[in-house]
Amino acid sequence: MGMSLRPEDKPVHLTQGIEESNIDEKYYEPPLMQVIPAACNACEHNVYEVSNQCKGCVAHPCKEVCPVGAIRMENGFSVIDKSVCIKCGKCKAHCPYDAISHKRRPCADACGANAIVSDELGRAKIDEKKCVSCGMCMVNCPFGAIADKSQIFQLIRAMRSNRKIIAAIAPAFVGQFGAGAGPDKIKAALIKLGFAEVYEVAMGADMGAMTEAEHYVEEVVTGKTPFLLTSCCPSWALLSKKHFPETIDKISNALTPMVATARMIKKEHPDASVVFIGPCAAKKLEAMRKSVRSDVDFVITFEELDAMFAAKNIVVAEMETGVPVDDATGAGRGYAVAGGVAKAIEDCIHEYYPGTEVNIEHAEGLDECRKILMLAKAGKKNGCLIEGMGCPGGCVAGAGTNIPVNKAAMEVRKFVGSTSRPIPDKDVVKDYHP
């Protein structure tokens, strides 16, 4: 919630640490993603086990195919010796009754960065050297034993101090706050909550698409660099930096939509603080970077914003509509779904550099992202613009969202389709280089 962490082994007063936590600079106490040890069920990971569905086949094919002799027959049924088993899965594949289960730890299964390990008690533990803070482990834990950390306490205190705080809301916001809660009503609800103004982060996405289109034409098409990686997803960029350091210089140096929008806001309102509201846990990590810290003051998710609406008894669908939401193009708004970033960049290339051939690749989910980075590293993706999204489905599948991915993607596409604002003139991009 933005407060200091409490020890498990001794009582601590509820209000201890409030004043020390009442500072904007306290994004969270690292690490961002953390397993709550007392809540972890210590699920078994990558274990093959014979269930009570075993029929005791006379041919016992599971035993016959095991390459290390880990299966024996006891009382007419198969038993796997886990100390010998090499987890190849052949027994499961050959069991005619599907009586052998493959137990997998849900958090580890969801982690495309292979960052989930076990502590000395068999509980899940996150390896910070590998973690890219996508939050998929948190979303997939059936026990709620993994949590990210928040700035909601600091933001609420700042709003109550009557400071001028402006909301920058990510493109995935449409549909996130219930049926009937359209973009204009969400904007009205944010104003009622206490924000001075509301800006679409899709504005920054428009600028990012323009910049990355220029980078692709000037760097990849000319052969100066073999391929270009998009920069907007922090988990994708962190995966590249941590696991494939050879590709770091191929990441576009365009400002992310969050940072670009925050800089535009601060240019117009130098006395204001900016809160980024989005679907992504990893944006909290991005906002801690020294180069970003002065631009983005707070980061909260749609889930956290929904809690703030509930606390103030604000029902978004019941809001009266006011000023319409009309800050961005459909290209920028499309950043919220997988493939939308590459499409926006491709549209800009066709608009600004007619006749230029564009080779698009995109990956969603860290497993696919790892594969495409391996191929790029091996020289198999030369000449490509590669879009990476850490969450399967894109930003609409982020750890801080409120509705199912397919429904969110549909809402975004409808919003994009209703947009009339054209792609900005090419000259606008000159003011956007970091």
For the stretch 32-43, pLDDT in tens is 899 998 899 999
DSSP 422: P
Residue 434 pLDDT? 40
Which amino acid, residue 378?
Answer: A
The CA-atom distances, in angstroms, between 348 and each of 306, 340, 356 are 34, 12, 11
- Region of 160 on the Ramachandran plot (φ > 0 left; ψ -120 to 50 alpha; else beta): alpha
Within the chain, which residues score under 50 in pLDDT?
430-434
DSSP state of 328: S
Half-sphere exposure at residue 177, Cβ-oriented, CA atoms within 13 angstroms = 30
User: How far is Cα of residue 155 from the mean position of the Cα atoms in its chain?
Assistant: 21
Enter the DSSP assignment of 127.
-
Q: What is the CA radius of gyration of the chain?
A: 24
CATH number of 47-103: 3.30.70.20
pLDDT at 433: 42
Instruction: Look up the pTM and report it.
Output: 0.89
Q: What pLDDT sits at residue 3?
A: 78
Domain residue ranges in the chain: 47-103, 166-431
pLDDT tens-digit map of 281-301: 999 989 888 777 779 999 999
First to last CA, the chain: 32
Q: In whole angstroms, what is the distance from residue 112 CA to residue 109 CA?
A: 8
CA angle at 38 for the pair 36 and 43, rounded to the nearest 5°: 85
pLDDT of residue 239: 95
